[in-house]
Amino acid sequence: MGLRPLNVAKWLEFDEHVDDELALKTQLLRERYDDVVATLPGSEEAAAELVRELTANLESYHPTRSRAISDEHPIVAASRLVQEDLCLLERRDAWRLSAACVCFPSRWSLASKLGATLDEIHGPVPGYDDALAGPTNAFFDRLGAERSYWRLNWTLLDSPVLHQPRGARRPPSGALSDWFFRVERQTLRRLARSGAVVFTIRTYVAPATTLVREHPDFGEHLWRALASAPPAVQDYKGWRGVADRLADALRSG
């Protein structure tokens, strides 16, 4: 799963895009509410606990950030406070997605995941059933409120737009100057009272050419990651042929 221990002081991240991204969330919640919010009945208690946990964290580590709480479903009220997307998973008959506000999906539909189990959510991921289903469910069962974790996920896309709920994962088109490196910083925390697990997704997007120019080893490392990915992963991610195109772009300068 590629998890690392998380210092709760660094649970949330704010940067120079905070005002723009919170404004975009407000717009999406006004215009595309059903695309970005999904809740099951009974999720309010865990979501309200998340609001309390978020506001306490902001007070301790980000005291200049607003902690004004709206009277919407608590998962929405919580999401308005941070740049992260927020998901709650609760243990019912299995671990299921019970509430989420995801304004910045990377070509997947939130509505299709509501109420789904961990195995159903990750079913399309190559190798998940054989290698990761058991460890993932066991991790959720063992996760305690005293320890939290984070991981990174990344891909290449042909658009810098944060809100991408639909569209097949396809190889980025055009030249390297048209490619964008998209990273998700994901965290997992257990809420002490409800026992729900909070899954946060903080999305960063940068032009691939900027990263190649500013970080001398980036292009080579990216090429190696693309070239060494198993064929099934390349198909799932939309990476078929991308390594060769990247190599040509790097050689041409």
pLDDT tens digits, one per residue of 125-184: 888 887 889 999 999 999 999 999 999 999 999 899 999 998 667 788 888 999 999 999
Query: What does the pLDDT look like over 102-120, one tens digit per residue?
Result: 999 998 999 999 999 999 9
Give the Cα separation of 156 and 161 in Å (integer). Answer: 12
Range of the domain at 59: 4-252
Number of H helices, E strands in the chain: 10, 7
What's the pLDDT score for residue 49?
98
Give the Cα separation of 243 and 231 in Å (integer). Answer: 12
Beta strand spans in 119-251 (E): 149-157, 180-190, 197-207
What's the pLDDT score for residue 198?
98
Query: What's this model's pTM, rounded to 2 decimal places?
Result: 0.94
Count of domains forming the chain: 1
